[in-house]
């Protein structure tokens, strides 16, 4: 069994709609006792949507905390009791206006393990068909763009895409041979 910390004391300092922040006094596996800020999050799902033509559907989304717009794959927080794959299907429709026939599991990531319990389940979506986009009022998506897989993969490694879940999702899909990568065109957004 892997080592774990014992929580000695826990004090919730903020409860928001998406996460809870607590100060936890823990005894670490080496015996040291420390106070840690812990963000408790119910988890999320993120999707690499791929068209039949081999394009990845990317979003240009405003992110206040990041200071502006970012290129991202669709993603969202799990509703209470929701399974990650159900969340992936829901978020794909809400954010892109597309439905998927198939979701392929690309595994899980822990984006910020130093202070957050969040785990994001990644999927590749295929067999896309039109649906009605239904953005939440706080989702500001200025563009939904079909980007050739080779170009999206280049963006994931050259810094055009800085969102971690998007970089990992695209790179995992590429490494597993799930993307048809054509020769690079050399363009950037």
Domain of residue 15 covers 6-41
Please tell me whether residues 70 and 102 are part of one structural domain: yes
Per the domain annotation, does 96 fall within a domain? yes
**Which residues carry out catalysis?**
139
Per-residue pLDDT of the chain (189 residues; tens, 9 = 90+): 678 889 999 999 999 988 999 999 999 999 999 999 999 999 999 999 999 999 999 999 999 999 999 999 999 999 999 999 999 999 999 999 999 999 999 999 999 999 999 999 999 999 999 999 999 898 899 999 999 999 999 999 999 999 999 999 999 999 999 997 754 455 556
| Structural domains in the chain (count) | 2
Per the domain annotation, does 182 fall within a domain? no
Please tell me whether residues 28 and 111 are part of one structural domain: no
Please tell me whether residues 70 and 36 are part of one structural domain: no
Per the domain annotation, does 110 fall within a domain? yes
Q: List CB contacts of 47: < 8 A, sequence separation 6 or more.
A: 73, 74, 75, 88, 91, 92, 100, 103, 122, 123, 124, 125, 169
Per the domain annotation, does 68 fall within a domain? yes
Please tell me whether residues 96 and 136 are part of one structural domain: yes
Per the domain annotation, does 188 fall within a domain? no
CATH number for 141: 3.90.79.10
Q: In whole angstroms, give the CA distance from residue 47 to residue 55.
A: 13
């Amino acid at each position: 069994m892997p080592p774990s910390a014992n929580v000695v004391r826990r004090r919730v300092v903020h409860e928001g709609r998406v996460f809870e922040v607590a100060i936890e006094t823990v005894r670490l596996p080496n015996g040291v006792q420390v106070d840690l800020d812990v963000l408790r999050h119910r988890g999320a799902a993120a999707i690499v949507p791929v068209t039949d033509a081999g394009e990845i559907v990317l979003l240009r989304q405003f992110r206040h905390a990041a200071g502006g717009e970012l290129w991202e794959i669709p993603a969202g927080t799990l509703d209470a009791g929701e399974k990650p794959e159900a969340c992936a299907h829901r978020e794909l429709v809400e954010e892109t206006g597309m439905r998927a026939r198939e979701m392929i599991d690309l595994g899980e990531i822990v984006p910020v393990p130093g202070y957050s319990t969040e785990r994001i389940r990644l999927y590749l979506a295929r067999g896309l068909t039109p649906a009605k986009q239904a953005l939440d009022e706080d989702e500001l998506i200025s563009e939904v763009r079909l980007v050739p897989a080779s170009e999206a993969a280049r963006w994931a490694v050259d810094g055009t895409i800085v969102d971690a879940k998007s970089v990992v999702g695209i790179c995992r899909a590429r490494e597993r041979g799930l993307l048809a990568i054509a020769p690079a065109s050399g363009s950037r957004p």
